[in-house]
Amino acid sequence: MKGFYFITDAHLSRAGNMSDVRDALKAGVKVVQYRDKEASTRGMFEEALKLRRICRKAVFLINDRVDIALSVNADGVHLGQDDLSYGVARKLLGRNKMIGVTVHSLKEAKEAQRLGADYVSISPIFATQTKLDAGFPKGIVLIKEIRKHIRIPIAAIGGINLSNARGVIEAGADALCAISAVVAKRNLRGEIEKFQTLFKRPVSKKWIKTKP
């Protein structure tokens, strides 16, 4: 997992999730997470099924909903701390599906790795209005701390934009998501490509991840 991590947001989108995901894939995105907290189960299933079909060359994850992930044969799920537990999700999904976990502290990150999570997502890094229940901003200091203690990939989300994204990468994030900074823009593909170029620059050796 490296580069821009795309998460859908139908409420902020100018063109709709289908168009957004297509453009994200054209921008070289390798991981797409389908998230919709307000859609009905049937609505989620129908849209997720369509998205699954266009994400054949990318990792397609479902936010929270293990049932939807199973029903459309997604590549896995992303779980928050208040969602279905990792253990139950793993039993339902099997060993070959990906499970990512949102963490807010070093303790939660270590626990996610111990349980077998494929990656962790630190949230929120900066203040954000995209997810109102995201909690108090953690800042890049937490990324640095977690990077020193875990070996699995780290994604960062929350208030990230082009002006602060480089610091997030330098701190040790393998991937980042900037929802409003791309989904609300007219040229979504172009905005994502700007973030993608940041990952092509050499990262300071100080923050190269090491095993715990």
pLDDT in tens, 21-79: 999 999 999 999 999 999 999 999 999 999 999 999 999 999 999 999 999 999 999 99
- Residue 131: per-residue pLDDT: 56
Mark 98-118 as b/e (b = at least 16 C-beta within 10 Å): bbbbbbbeeebbbebbeeebb
State the pLDDT at residue 84: 95
Of 138, 196, 202, 148, nearest to 172 by C-alpha is 148
Q: Would you call 42 exposed, middle or buried from its count of C-beta atoms within 10 A (0-12, 13-18, 19+)?
A: exposed
Q: What is the CATH number of domain 3-201?
A: 3.20.20.70
pLDDT band for position 207 (50/70/90)?
A: very low
Per the model's pLDDT, the better-predicted residue between 160 and 135 turns out to be 160
| Separation CA 208–CA 147 (nearest Å) | 9
Give the residue, 138 or 43, on which the prediction is more confident: 43
Q: How confident is the model over 68-94, as a mean pLDDT?
A: 97
pLDDT for res 203: 53
